[in-house]
Amino acid sequence: MAKAIPKICSCRNGRISSRKGARRIPRRVIHVQATGTSGFKGTRRGTPFAAQTVAANAICTVVDQGMQRVEFMIKGLALRRDATLRAIRRTGILLTSYRM
């Protein structure tokens, strides 16, 4: 007896489509750990520049989701927190409040 061919999806023509539209989230709380692991290894992770890069990457993903207002909670050492906060302010997103 021959095996049945598995279906790709429930659609008849085999295409997979997303039923959901783009999500729009107006306001959220974002938690940022100011130790940058975004492509940095070893002691470079602990630099303020690495923390700034991580914050910029987080902001890019947040803006893509459609957020306009953000509340940040930042953890880490003082120099890293300052660099993270500067990167957040530079992006132009409306910062409602931040906690350290």
Task: Return the higher-pLDDT residue of 83 and 24.
Answer: 83
First to last CA, the chain: 66
Instruction: Encode pLDDT of 73-82 as tens digits.
Output: 888 888 888 8
Which pLDDT belongs to residue 80? Answer: 85
Alpha helix (H) ranges present in 1-100? 48-64, 78-91
Please tell me the pTM assigned to this model. 0.64
Question: What mean pLDDT is predicted for residues 77-96?
Answer: 86
Instruction: Encode pLDDT of 32-75 as tens digits.
Output: 777 677 788 888 888 889 888 888 888 888 888 778 888 888 88
Domains located in the chain, CATH noted = 27-99 (3.30.420.80)
Which pLDDT belongs to residue 16? Answer: 54
DSSP label of 94:
E
CB proximity list for 78: less than 8 A, separation 6 or greater: none
Which pLDDT belongs to residue 4? Answer: 61
